[in-house]
Structure 1
Amino acid sequence: MIERYAAFTDSPSGGNPAGVVLDASGLTDADMLRIAADLGYSETAFVTERAGERYRVRYFSPLTEIPFCGHATVATAVALGPGEHRFVTNVGEVPVIVDTTGVATLTSVPPAVAELPAADLAALLTTLGWSAEDLDPELPPRVAYAGAFHPVIAAGSRKRLAELDYDVPALKALMTDRDWTTVQLVFRAGPDSFDVRNPFPIGGVYEDPATGAAAAALGGYLRELGLVPDDATLGLRQGDDLGRPSRITVRLVPGEPGVRVSGRAVPIPAE
């Protein structure tokens, strides 16, 4: 049975839609990829094994398997119901707590941040149609990881972020070659507030309306570069430019290696 949820929203018309299959024990890789492609959402989560509150979870986009997906994790956890769940993913174990109000909080695997080579930055800006003058000098380009790799590129203005119009084949080829899952484009609207957009051509989707894995990676990036306090709560706005508003909360806890990412998920009614 395929369930449909919208994650990081309290409305089925907002957030990022995700497919959820709570019993995929009898499905092959080809089956899961076909289901994800037929559904057409950016990701579908498949629970392939269960032992108590530990679940083996895999994520498929319409084109390929994805190592980790935050919004489908939130959707799956909410579908399972309130309580503490532990997801065994391709990148490690991810604990998720769902409260009685339908808010799920995942804690990512420990993040990592690396330099973005100058040649890669130049190629990325070319595919986006951006120039170096479009960037925010206070948030330097990096590649961040919290279960998947995402270049973090900060726009100097909200207008630049809004005018997203990239070269799909060129960006897809670059991301495939570099093993990037999405590109995390951000605009810092305030000390703890960010507008974000995430091109996702390798998954067969022009843009993700909400990207929990990239949100976790951004939290790790901001902490690593000392751009936010060690104890910080950040609000991310995503999907507004697509007409699917999404709200993601990122929490950094001193002494905790992972990054907490929280949001709601609601069922999408059958058509």
Structure 2
Amino acid sequence: MKTQEINILNSFSHEGKGGNPAAVVLNGDNLTPQEMQNLAQKAGLSETAFVSSSSNAAFKLDFFTPTKQIAHCGHATVATFSYLKKMGLVKNETSSKETIDGIRKIYFDGTRAYMEQESPKFFQLTPDDKGAILEALNLKENDLLAEPEIVNTGNSFLIVHVNEQTLAVINPVLEIISEISARYNLIGFYVFAKSDDRLFDATTRMFGPYYGIEEESATGMAAGPLACYLDRYGDAPKTEYNISQGKYMKTPSPSHIHIKLDKNGDKINSLFAGGDAYVSDKITLNIDG
């Protein structure tokens, strides 16, 4: 029986704890897409990253949720490059990844690994969907502090602004979130509040049932869009944001996502999401379905 060793790293950890676990597989060249999907389903984590060789970048990364492949994943990228650095497979302070939709830069700053995201794109929802969004999150209209909006920096997320008391008690209807996510090609809903903790600009929760993720504790590809949203609509735009996630999960796993914006005046040219990661486990799984 063919088996595969899988490394588990918790990304975007906060003070050496918490974070979001991602599975990292180093020998992706030896696996078929179906085998990757099987392993991601068996690993049971929100994302698994498969590393293989690339003629265009330092490494090729394929990301799979338990149900399907996605173009990018923030915490699995941070997990992968932190592990590659730890294993001595990345010698310099810069690197790069090839994904199914392009090349992205990677760099290290101290213990943090940072991944590049694209310049943001903002999209409005149709008015008819507002009621469905409220129903999906079990909210009343006056719970919303702004109109929900889709932001994409490589993946699309619905950004929803509430206060922290409301954020803490959200009881999502996953079937409705999944339906809306399918309609707008969203990874999920990223619900945020201005943080009561001075260290952070926002506290968040991410629901992505359309991709088999009920809720996860750190989402780098969602924190980037949120930073762009805060830059556009906030009172004091800046170039760095600190995002907290995982605090209000059923099993809390506090995370810290650091975002750096590359701006030219008011325009965001690109951005980087970074954080720390640590090895939390190592498992062996059967490859066959």
TM-score by length of 2: 0.85
**2:184 corresponds to which residue?**
178
Q: Which amino acid aligns with 1:264?
A: D
Q: How does 1:180-259 map onto structure 2 within 5 Å?
A: 180-189=186-195, 193-225=201-233, 227-229=235-237, 231-242=238-249, 243-255=252-264, 257-259=269-271
Of the three residues 24, 34, 40, the one matched with 2:38 is: 34
Give, in whole Å, the separation in 2 of the partners of 1:112 and 1:181. 15
Q: Indicate how the Cα distance of structure 1 residues 49 and 228 shifts in structure 2: closer, same or farther if over 3 A, else same.
A: farther
**1:115 corresponds to which residue?**
124
Are the counterparts in 2 of residues 53 and 84 from structure 1 also a CA contact under 8 Å?
no
Q: Indicate how the Cα distance of structure 1 residues 92 and 237 shifts in structure 2: closer, same or farther if over 3 A, else same.
A: same
Are the counterparts in 2 of residues 236 and 248 from structure 1 also a CA contact under 8 Å?
yes
Give, in whole Å, the separation in 1 of the partners of 2:131 and 2:150. 14
Could you give the per-residue CA deviations for residues 114-144 of structure 1, whole angstroms, max 9, x where no partner exists? Answer: 112222222111111112100114xx32100
Give, in whole Å, the separation in 2 of the partners of 1:216 and 1:241. 20
Overall identity of the aligned pairs, in %: 27
Q: Does 1:24 align with 2:31?
A: no
Which has the higher mean CA deviation after the structures are superposed, 113-122 or 125-134? 113-122
How far off its partner does 1:34 sit?
0.6
Runs of at least 4 residues of structure 1 off by over 3 A?
A: 10-13, 50-53, 224-228
Q: Indicate how the Cα distance of structure 1 residues 120 and 67 shifts in structure 2: closer, same or farther if over 3 A, else same.
A: farther
Give, in whole Å, the separation in 2 of the partners of 1:240 and 1:145. 24
Are the counterparts in 1 of residues 157 and 187 from structure 2 also a CA contact under 8 Å?
yes
Of the three residues 112, 132, 135, the one matched with 1:126 is: 135
Cα RMSD of the aligned pairs, angstroms, is 2.1
Of the three residues 275, 283, 287, the one matched with 1:263 is: 275
Q: Indicate how the Cα distance of structure 1 residues 53 and 102 shifts in structure 2: closer, same or farther if over 3 A, else same.
A: farther
How far off its partner does 1:228 sit?
4.2
Could you give the per-residue CA deviations for residues 68-121 of structure 1, whole angstroms, max 9, x where no partner exists? Answer: 11000111111111621111122322111124x431111212221111222222
Q: How does 1:2-17 map onto structure 2 within 5 Å?
A: 2-9=6-13, 14-17=18-21
**1:44 corresponds to which residue?**
48
Give, in whole Å, the separation in 1 of the partners of 2:43 and 2:81. 19
Give, in whole Å, the separation in 2 of the partners of 1:127 and 1:219. 24
> What number of residue pairs does the alignment pair up?
266
Which has the higher mean CA deviation after the structures are superposed, 248-257 or 179-188? 248-257
TM-score by length of 1: 0.91
Q: Which runs of 5+ in 2 are unaligned?
A: 86-91, 284-289
Q: Which runs of 5+ in 1 are unaligned?
A: none
Q: Indicate how the Cα distance of structure 1 residues 116 and 160 shifts in structure 2: closer, same or farther if over 3 A, else same.
A: same
Are the counterparts in 2 of residues 93 and 109 from structure 1 also a CA contact under 8 Å?
no
Give, in whole Å, the separation in 1 of the partners of 2:131 and 2:69. 28
How far off its partner does 1:237 sit?
0.8
Q: Indicate how the Cα distance of structure 1 residues 218 and 165 shifts in structure 2: closer, same or farther if over 3 A, else same.
A: same
Give, in whole Å, the separation in 1 of the partners of 2:99 and 2:13. 24
How far off its partner does 1:53 sit?
5.5
